[in-house]
Structure 1
Amino acid sequence: MIKFIPIAAQAGITGFESPAAEYTQLGMSLDQILIDNPTATYLGFVEGESMTGVGIFPHDLLIVSRAETVNTGDVIVATLNGVFVCKIADTKNKQLISYSKRHKKYQLKDGDEFIVEGVVTRSIRLHRPLKKGFT
């Protein structure tokens, strides 16, 4: 069980009493905190830099739900012509939007093989590499 420390840590503060001295152990796991629908959720690692403008970077961990309905503005994982992509959905204009200066919007065309695999509900930044065997 992970111990929960109920404080808001501010980046940039220097020296403060250890909040771990009076931690609270909650009866919950990271799964309970981060995953809304376990049977419809999967994890994936990010490759590429097309979504850096929305804070999704290479090697980040994505939590993806197949249970969510796709809305315009959602970050999604999809297969486009046999390739997995992570993009912003524009359902009104039938576009996939990248948030990087080097990547343009993609207009979905008749004949494209396009399947939404799920909506990204969370992304996790890995500040240190995972142990071998996880990526």
Structure 2
Amino acid sequence: MNVTILGPLAEAGIQLPLYSHSVPAGFPSPAADHIEQKISLDELLNIRAPHMYLVRISGDSMQGAGIFDGDLAVVDKSIDAKHGHIVIGCVNNEPTCKRLCLRDSRVVLMAENTDYPARHILEGEEYTTWGVVTFSVRSHD
């Protein structure tokens, strides 16, 4: 799975209505027109520039984690990556999106699709974590 860095996010934005009622995916509710407050997508996605950035995901290796080809991922550089986090990692100058697994001080990048093998970081390879994926955004067009 490859990623395309889109750049840093700017703080502040327009505020959108947040409805107090959850919207069912089944039958509509008659009480669905209550606005609780206004929020911005910055607040909703917990975007705190300048340590946040967006990447566009390509490929299907993370579909088991709900991240699909073409999705935007919100990445936080300020979070210390831990075992189990989904990260943007860079192996030998090639960025990738994978689940971070730490095994006896070894780094293994795991796909969330059984069609892809684990990527063990070998001695002599360069690896850097570029941030932890906190949200993914998908267009439904």
Return the TM-score normalized by structure 1: 0.84
**By how many angstroms is 1:104 displaced?**
0.5
CA-to-partner distance for each residue in 1:2-28, whole Å, 9 max, x for gaps?
1111111222x22333623x32342x3
1:24 and 2:36 aligned: yes
- Partner of 1:35: helix, strand, or coil? coil
Alignment gaps of 5+ in structure 1? 129-135
Alignment RMSD: 1.6
Paired with 2:46 and 2:96, the residues of 1 have a C-alpha distance of 21
**How do residues 107-122 of structure 1 correspond to structure 2 at under 5 angstroms?**
107-122=120-135
Percent of aligned pairs with the same amino acid: 26
Give aligned pairs, total.
125
- The structure that is strand-richer by fraction is 2
- Counterpart position of 2:115: 102
Amino acid at match of 1:46: I
Q: Structure 1: which 4+ aligned runs deviate by more than 3 Å?
A: none
Paired with 1:59 and 1:7, the residues of 2 have a C-alpha distance of 30
1:4 and 2:18 aligned: yes
- The structure that is helix-richer by fraction is 1
Query: Of the candidates 49, 58, 61, which is equivalent to residue 69 of structure 2?
Result: 58
Instruction: Indicate if the aligned counterparts of 1:35 and 1:41 stay in contact, CA closer than 8 A.
Output: no
Alignment gaps of 5+ in structure 2? 1-14
Return the TM-score normalized by structure 2: 0.81
Paired with 1:84 and 1:16, the residues of 2 have a C-alpha distance of 44
